[in-house]
């Protein structure tokens, strides 16, 4: 029996994961404990949790493995600065001291940080390092139910690799092709994220959400695509890309792009954060989304060609582009697709641990039956007992009622949702990865015309254009959406069916962004994006019986087995972790009801329930 701790840290989305004999016992991001979104800091609290959940001490671990190789990464940084010299001297002077003080001596840094957690014999510690894209590939392949599969990983950059095609076979992974830095689809997409005024490494999903506001009939779209292909990128038939470095600064500078050159070729000023979004911004977002989809599909076809596999595993930050994932599915390139729900760097902790178990320790990859979910629904984080909830209630002077019959809670909450109420829903173990999947969620009625506006502006405190995802009981997914496959991790976009669409006026795409947003598009308005698409989560009784029961109860009342599901947090904060986080978020927003396990809280029954400012913090722009 092998016990392995995987760690990701020092870049963004620090996390830890613990495996025992190949089973995922615990996995969590450090941001959930520190409340600093995308924190890169060493995951002290995450490791403490993993050890606590497993009952292990550090000395009992067979291996601790880091998710990439710092010396290879340092080699890439030095070679890149040398290649672009004398450009980037300021960036070089800023970066090198950090490497010399800590990152270059990562073994010592990791060992010293582990001493903060508990005493252990550092001489006996088996410390391993995985390559970045191996960690991504392992997290997808070893979490799937495939015995053999093509593996496609796409992100910004690891050590050298920015995309890779490999083949997973039993307990081995072999890479067949790699795309190397500075040519990167992930960095191209992040460059547009930056140009359109969003934060790199966290705002890419905003760019994806903005794209459907682009006018597909506008000449702008093809014009922007032609500029992208003429000046910024060359796309090869196999999906590999070449980026014209005259227009980018990420290799040597402190910014992603050469702003003046971009503003000249696009005839558009770089958008500042919080600046008004106009139709041109939307059109540019749609253009880069289309280019991204073209590249990803070419990569998928090439992966099929060189592996011959009927299965595909996807991971890396670009695998979180669920619109592109939906296009791969529609192309029918592969019979089966598995996407790692924690595809970003946090999932690297999981993949590193799995790589150590299967590859380093040469353990057989014995697959369960096809219905078994190795990721356990991604419910791999902390849960909290009634005793801990009661302690929080005393601390916050919260008023609530505890129910012994969960079906009664479902009836109360489903009825309130159907009447337009917004619910904070906190159950069981916290999700691992960027999506809330029904255990740390804010829930609402998808039929409500005003709900998207209310959720964005009064609950989430974020940009009003941001879309919301539906949670649908799997049995009913084909009644509302053009998809029959499972999508338990909210990683695939599909269209709503014609039967629930509303007719759009002929001049619809000439309307302003906000007029488009609030025009009735479907019977499930709050989860229908402007292009009639939705980012779908199928809910399964086997993996989350409580959430399934709530949605099914809502169906009995309304005839609709769908809820709006958005993450339980406000802008600038991570998803809530513990009962106190949940209560504070509940009290600082216009949520109406909070449910924490079997405890139900009504807003008007709380002390000072009208005084939101008492609970508000200075939420940072994200």
* Cβ-based neighbour number of residue 512 at 10 Å: 10
Answer whether 315's CB lies under 8 Å from 342's CB.
no
- The mean per-residue pLDDT over the stretch 4-10 comes to 96
- The number of residues in the chain equals 622
Q: Which token pair is 606?
A: 């709380």
Q: What pLDDT sits at residue 460?
A: 85
**Residue-wise pLDDT tens digits, 500-544:** 999 888 888 778 777 877 889 899 999 999 889 999 999 999 999
DSSP E strand stretches across 507-622:
533-539, 562-567, 593-596, 599-602
Q: What pLDDT sits at residue 511?
A: 80
Q: Is the pTM higher than 0.85?
A: yes
Give the whole-angstrom CA distance, residue 71 versus residue 220.
44
Region of residue 271 (phi > 0: left; psi between -120 and 50: alpha; otherwise: beta): beta
Give the whole-angstrom CA distance, residue 170 versus residue 114.
33
Give the whole-angstrom CA distance, residue 181 versus residue 188.
11
Q: What pLDDT sits at residue 258?
A: 95
Contacts of 372 (CB under 8 A, 6+ apart): 145
Q: What pLDDT sits at residue 368?
A: 65
Q: What pLDDT sits at residue 11?
A: 86
**Residue-wise pLDDT tens digits, 140-172:** 999 999 999 999 999 999 888 999 999 999 999
Give the whole-angstrom CA distance, residue 552 versus residue 554.
5
- The mean per-residue pLDDT over the stretch 89-100 comes to 66
The pLDDT mean for the chain works out to 92
- 25 against 452, higher pLDDT: 25
Q: What pLDDT sits at residue 102?
A: 64
DSSP SS3 for 423: strand
Q: What pLDDT sits at residue 79?
A: 74
Alpha helices in 488-594 (DSSP H): 513-517, 545-558, 579-587
Q: Which token pair is 48?
A: 């403490």
pLDDT tier at 620, thresholds 50, 70, 90: very low
Q: Is the dihedral of CA 108, 109, 114, 115 positive or negative?
A: positive
- 400 against 94, higher pLDDT: 400
- The mean per-residue pLDDT over the stretch 252-274 comes to 92
Answer whether 43's CB lies under 8 Å from 26's CB.
no
Q: Which token pair is 259?
A: 């702003």
* Cβ-based neighbour number of residue 272 at 10 Å: 8
Q: What pLDDT sits at residue 119?
A: 94
Which range (367-381, 396-410, 554-568) has the least confidence? 367-381
Closest CA to 266 of 274, 275, 257: 257
Residue 197 has pLDDT above 70, yes or no: yes
pLDDT tier at 85, thresholds 50, 70, 90: low
Q: What pLDDT sits at residue 408?
A: 98
Contacts of 96 (CB under 8 A, 6+ apart): none
Q: What pLDDT sits at residue 421?
A: 97
When computed from its CA atoms, the radius of gyration of the chain, rounded to whole angstroms, is: 24
How far does Cα 437 stand from its chain's mean position?
A: 11
Residue 248 has pLDDT above 80, yes or no: yes
**Residue-wise pLDDT tens digits, 312-331:** 999 999 999 999 999 999 99
- The mean per-residue pLDDT over the stretch 173-198 comes to 96
Answer whether 296's CB lies under 8 Å from 327's CB.
yes
Q: What pLDDT sits at residue 93?
A: 64
Answer whether 234's CB lies under 8 Å from 245's CB.
no
Residue 611 has pLDDT above 50, yes or no: yes
Residue 618 has pLDDT above 80, yes or no: no
* Cβ-based neighbour number of residue 515 at 10 Å: 10
Give the whole-angstrom CA distance, residue 477 versus residue 536.
9
Percentage of the chain beyond pLDDT 90 is 79
Residue 78 has pLDDT above 90, yes or no: no
Q: What pLDDT sits at residue 88?
A: 63
pLDDT tier at 120, thresholds 50, 70, 90: very high
Closest CA to 443 of 407, 469, 479: 469
Q: Which token pair is 158?
A: 């690891």
Which range (176-180, 434-438, 606-610) has the least confidence? 606-610
How many secondary structure helices (H) and strands (E) does the chain include?
A: 20, 21
């Amino acid at each position: 029996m092998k016990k392995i701790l995987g760690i990701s840290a020092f870049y963004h989305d620090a996390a830890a994961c613990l495996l025992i004999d190949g089973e995922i016992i615990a996995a969590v991001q450090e941001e959930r404990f520190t409340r600093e979104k995308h924190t890169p800091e060493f995951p002290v609290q995450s490791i403490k949790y993993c050890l606590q959940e497993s009952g292990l001490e550090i000395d009992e671990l067979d291996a601790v493995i880091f998710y990439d190789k710092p010396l290879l990464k340092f080699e890439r940084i030095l070679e890149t600065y040398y290649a672009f010299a004398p450009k980037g001297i300021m960036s070089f002077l800023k970066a090198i001291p950090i490497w010399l003080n800590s990152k270059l001596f990562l073994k010592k840094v990791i060992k010293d940080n582990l001493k903060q957690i508990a005493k252990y014999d550092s001489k006996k510690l088996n410390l391993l390092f995985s390559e970045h894209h191996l960690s991504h590939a392992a997290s997808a392949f070893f979490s799937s139910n495939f015995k053999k599969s093509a593996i496609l990983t796409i992100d910004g950059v690891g050590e050298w690799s920015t995309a890779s095609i490999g083949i997973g076979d039993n307990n081995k992974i072999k890479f067949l092709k790699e795309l190397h830095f500075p040519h990167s689809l992930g960095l191209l997409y992040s460059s547009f994220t930056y140009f359109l005024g969003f934060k790199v490494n966290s705002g890419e999903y905003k760019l994806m959400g903005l794209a459907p506001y682009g006018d597909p009939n506008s000449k702008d779209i093809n014009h922007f695509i032609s500029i992208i292909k003429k000046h910024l990128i060359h796309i090869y038939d196999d999906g590999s890309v070449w980026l014209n470095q005259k227009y980018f600064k990420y290799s040597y500078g402190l910014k992603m792009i050469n702003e003046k050159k971009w503003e000249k070729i696009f005839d558009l000023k770089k958008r500042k954060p919080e600046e008004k979004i106009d139709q041109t911004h939307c059109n540019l977002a749609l253009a880069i989304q289309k280019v991204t989809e073209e590249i990803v599909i070419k990569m998928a076809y090439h992966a099929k060609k060189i592996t011959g596999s009927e299965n595909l595993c996807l991971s890396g930050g670009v695998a979180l582009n669920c619109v592109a994932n939906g296009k791969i599915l529609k192309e029918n390139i592969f019979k089966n697709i598995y996407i790692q729900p924690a595809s970003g760097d946090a999932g690297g902790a999981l993949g590193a641990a799995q790589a150590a178990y299967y590859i380093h320790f040469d353990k057989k990859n014995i697959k369960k039956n096809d219905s078994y979910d190795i990721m356990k629904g991604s419910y791999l984080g902390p849960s909290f007992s009634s005793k801990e909830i009661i302690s929080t209630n005393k601390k916050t002077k919260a008023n609530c009622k505890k129910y012994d019959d969960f079906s009664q809670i479902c009836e109360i909450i489903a009825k309130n949702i159907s009447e337009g109420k917004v619910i904070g829903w906190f159950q069981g173990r916290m999700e691992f990865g960027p999506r809330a999947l029904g255990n740390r969620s804010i829930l609402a009625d998808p039929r409500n015309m005003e709900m998207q506006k209310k959720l964005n502006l009064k609950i989430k405190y974020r940009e009003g254009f941001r879309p919301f995802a539906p949670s649908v009981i799997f049995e009913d997914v084909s009644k509302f959406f053009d998809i029959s496959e499972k999508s338990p991790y909210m990683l695939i976009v599909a269209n709503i069916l014609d039967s629930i669409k509303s007719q759009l006026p002929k001049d619809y795409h000439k309307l302003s962004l906000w007029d488009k947003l609030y025009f009735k598009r479907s019977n499930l308005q709050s989860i229908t994006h402007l292009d009639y698409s939705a980012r779908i989560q199928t809910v399964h009784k086997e993996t989350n019986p409580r959430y399934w029961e709530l949605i099914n109860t809502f169906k009995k009342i309304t005839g609709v087995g769908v809820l709006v599901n958005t993450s339980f947090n406000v802008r600038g904060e991570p998803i809530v972790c513990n009962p106190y986080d949940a209560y504070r978020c509940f009290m600082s927003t216009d949520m109406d009801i909070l449910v924490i396990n079997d405890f139900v809280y009504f807003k008007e029954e709380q002390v000072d329930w009208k005084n939101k400012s008492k609970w508000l913090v200075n939420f940072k722009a994200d």
